[in-house]
Structure 1
Amino acid sequence: MNTAEPGAGSRIALPPLVAGAYRKRLGLISIVACFGGLLFGYDTGVINGALRPMAAELGLTALTEGVVTSSLVFAAAVGALFAGRISDAWGRRTTIIGLAVLFFAGTVFVVLAPGIGVLIAGRIMLGLAVGGASTVVPVFLAELAPYEIRGSITGRNEVAIVIGQLSAFVINAIIGNVFHAEAHSWRIMFAICAIPAICLFVGMLRMPESPRWLVEKGRHEQALAVLKTVRPADRAEAELEEVLEIAREEREEHQIGLKAVLTNKWLLRILFIGIGVAMAQQLTGINSIMYYGQIVLIESGFDESAALIANIAPGIVAVIGGFIALYMMDRVDRRKTFAIGLTLTTTSHLLIGFASMLLPVGNPARPFVILALVVLFVLSMQTFLNVAVWVWLAEAFPLHMRGLGIGVSVFFGWTTNGFLSLFFPSLIAAVGITGAFFIFAGVGAIALLFVITQVPETRGVTLEKLEVGVTTGAIFTVPATRKRRR
Structure 2
Amino acid sequence: MSVSSAPVTLPPLGVGPHRRRLGLMSVVACLGGLLFGYDTGVINGALLPMTQELGLTPVTQGIATSSLVFAAAIGALLGGRISDARGRRTTILALAILFFLGAIVVVASPSLEVLVVGRVLLGLAVGGASTVVPVYLAELAPHEIRGSLSGRNEVAIVVGQLAAFVVNAILGATLGHLDGVWRVMFAVCALPAAALFVGMLRMPESPRWLVDHGRRDEALAVLERIRTPERAAAELADVEAVSRIRSAERITLGEVVRDRRLLAILLTGIGLGIGQQVTGINAIMYYGQTVLVESGFERQAALVANVAPGVIAVVGGIVALWMMDRVNRRTTFVLGFGLTTVCQVLIGIASLALPEGNPARPFVILALVVAFVGAMQTFLNVAFWVTLAEIFPMRMRGLGVGIGAFANWMANGALALAFPSLVDSIGISGTFFGFAVLGALALAFVLWRLPESRGRTLESLEVDVVGRSR
TM-score (norm 1): 0.94
Structure 2 Cα separation of the partners of residues 13 and 385 of structure 1: 30
The aligned residue for residue 139 of structure 1 is 135
1:313–1:255 Cα change, 3 Å: closer
Post-superposition CA distance 1:314-338 (Å, at most 9, x none):
0000000000000000000011000
Q: Structure 1 unaligned segments of length 5 or more: list them.
A: 1-6, 475-486
- Contact 2:8-2:460 at 8 Å conserved across structures: no
Matches within 5 A, 1:24-39: 24-39=20-35
Pick aligned residue for 2:180 from 179, 184, 191: 184
Q: Establish whether residue 446 from structure 1 lines up as the match of residue 441 from structure 2.
A: yes
Q: Which amino acid aligns with 2:158?
A: V
How far is the alpha carbon of 1:54 from its aligned partner? 1.1
Query: Aligned residue for 2:398?
Result: 403
Distance change (3 Å), C-alpha of 1:305 and 1:323: same
Q: Which amino acid aligns with 1:210?
A: S
- Counterpart among 15, 20, 24 of residue 19 in structure 1: 15
The residue that corresponds to 1:362 in the other structure is 357
* Distance in 1 (alpha carbons) for counterparts of 2:250 and 2:330: 27
Match of 1:196 in 2: 192
> Residue 268 in 1 paired to residue 263 in 2?
yes
Alpha-carbon deviations, 1:274-331, whole Å to 9, x = none?
Answer: 0000100000000000000011101111010110000000000000000000000000
The aligned amino acid for 1:384 is F
Instruction: Tell me the equivalent position of 1:117.
Output: 113
Mapped to 1, the partners of 2:468 and 2:103 lie a distance apart of 45
Structure 1 residue 258 displacement after superposition? 4.0
Question: What amino acid does structure 2 have at the position aligned with 1:445?
Answer: A
Choose which of 364, 385, 393 in structure 2 pairs with 1:390: 385
Cα distance in structure 2, aligned partners of 1:338 and 1:173: 33
- Structure 1 residue 27 displacement after superposition: 0.6
Contact 1:110 1:118 survives alignment (8 Å): yes
CA RMSD of aligned residues (A): 1.4
Q: Alignment partner for residue 311 of structure 2, among 301, 310, 316?
A: 316
Q: Deviations for 1:38-83, whole angstroms, at most 9, x for unmatched residues?
A: 0000000000000111111122222221111000000000000010
Write the distance in 2 (CA, Å) between the matches of 1:299 and 1:403.
Answer: 41
Shift of residue 128, structure 1, vs aligned partner: 0.1
- In the alignment, which residue of structure 2 is the partner of 1:465? 460
1:11 CA drift (Å): 7.9
Aligned twin of 1:51: 47
- Contact 1:55–1:65 at 8 Å: present in 2 too? yes
CA distance in 1 between counterparts of 2:359 and 2:433 reads 23
Identity of matched residues, %: 63
Post-superposition offset of 1:186: 0.4
> Could you say which residue in structure 2 is the equivalent of 1:242?
238
Q: Whole-Å Cα distance in 1 between the matches of residues 83 and 121 of structure 2?
A: 18
Which residues of structure 2 form unaligned runs of 5+?
none
Quote the residue 2:367 is aligned against. 372
Of 21-30 and 256-265, deviating more is 256-265
When structure 1 is superposed on structure 2, of 36-45 and 260-269 the one drifting more is 260-269
Structure 1 pair 238–372 and aligned structure 2 pair: CA distance change class (3 A): same
Shift of 1:251: 3.1
Structure 2 distance, partners of 1:402, 1:36, is 19
Query: SS of the residue aligned with 1:251?
Result: coil
- Contact 2:29/2:133, CA 8 A, preserved across alignment: yes
What is the identity, as a one-letter code, of the residue corresponding to 2:417? Answer: L
CA contact (8 A) 1:285 1:420 kept: yes
Between the aligned partners of 2:90 and 2:78, the Cα distance in structure 1 is 14
State whether residues 10 and 246 of structure 1, in contact with CA within 8 Å, keep that contact through their aligned partners in structure 2. no
What is aligned with 2:320?
325
- Cα distance in structure 1, aligned partners of 2:51 and 2:90: 37
Give the secondary structure class of the aligned counterpart of 1:249. coil
Q: Amino acid of the residue matched to residue 114 of structure 1?
A: P
Q: Secondary structure at the match of 2:245?
A: helix
Q: Give the residue type in structure 2 aligned to 1:440.
A: F
CA contact (8 A) 1:33 1:137 kept: yes
Q: 1:453 to 1:435 in 2, by over 3 A?
A: same
How many residues were matched structurally?
A: 467
Equivalences for residues 341-352 of structure 1 within 5 A: 341-352=336-347
Name the TM-score, length of structure 2 as normaliser.
0.97
Task: Confirm or deny: 8 A CA contact 2:171 2:181 kept in the other structure.
Answer: yes
2: CA distance, partners of 1:23 / 1:168? 31
Work out which of the residue numbers 426, 429, 433 in structure 2 matches 1:434.
429
